[in-house]
Amino acid sequence: MSCPGVDLVRHPAGATDLVLLAHGGEENSHADPHLRRPALLRMWPFAVVAQSAAPHAAVGLLRYRFRGWNDDGDAAIDLRAVLDELPPVISRVFLIGHSMGGRAVVAAGDHPRVAGVLALAPWLPSGEPLVALRPPVTFVHGTDDTVTDPAGTTAYAARLRAAGVAVTTYSLAGEGHAMLRRAKDWDRLVADFVGGTPAGGGSEHLPETDAAQVASGVGSIAWARFRLPVKERFRVSCESATR
């Protein structure tokens, strides 16, 4: 079992902000979430986007102990352990999560170091505990997603708004769970979030584009993976994630 931590692909000297990317996983699995899994690879283009949108911030990918969420919400536990033990110089963390990672960043989004949450096609099942998130909070989901339920995202956003939290939601017509048919739209929304573009706080439906972008989306994954090597690894103890 590997211990939770962060693979840093960018770490400017003196950086006080961290953009942390949390990848997807499975409902139940204690298998190793190795580096070659598609769920993790899909996050690499967003690391490139974040590097451009916030050049003075550190950028890293969250590393879990396990591939699955499991009964205890292991992915969220790991994220909280990382947030607790990051170096003191990191004062603000901007969380971006996809699928299970989207569920994790929402669950840990009330941590005092968190300065914003962006959930991409998040897995937010019925009855998911409501977390007191602090804006900016943005949820994005494709209308054709058959892996995680867009209605679950809409329902959770409504609960947050009822609790007084400003939430921006985007619905991407014709998009599925892998975020490849409209790769440029996902990149733009990540750039806006990381770059601090003010969100409207409402709901927006983005109509389907003329052409699928699957080929360019897949190409961007390969290009980003080789362009951004891991520069530094930060790990917390496995015991920290099981307290």
Residue-range domain boundaries for the chain: 5-242
The runs of H, that is alpha helices, within 8-129 are: 38-41, 44-53, 74-85, 100-107
Residues 100, 105, 109, CA angle at the centre, nearest 5°? 155
Of 125-129, 133-137, 207-211, 216-220, least confident by mean pLDDT is 207-211
C-alpha separations of 76 from 68, 123, 177, 216 in Å: 11, 12, 20, 31
φ and ψ at 141, to 5 degrees?
A: -145, 140
pTM over 0.75, yes/no: yes
Which residue bears the tokens 């080789």?
226
Mean pLDDT, the chain, as a whole number? 92
φ and ψ at 4, to 5 degrees?
A: -70, 155
Averaged pLDDT, 122-136: 96
The CATH number of the domain covering residues in 5-242: 3.40.50.1820
First to last CA, the chain: 16
Determine the 3-state secondary structure of 169 from DSSP: strand
Distance of CA 94 to the CA centre of its chain: 9
Structure confidence by residue, pLDDT tens digits, 151-187? 999 999 999 999 999 999 999 999 999 999 999 999 9
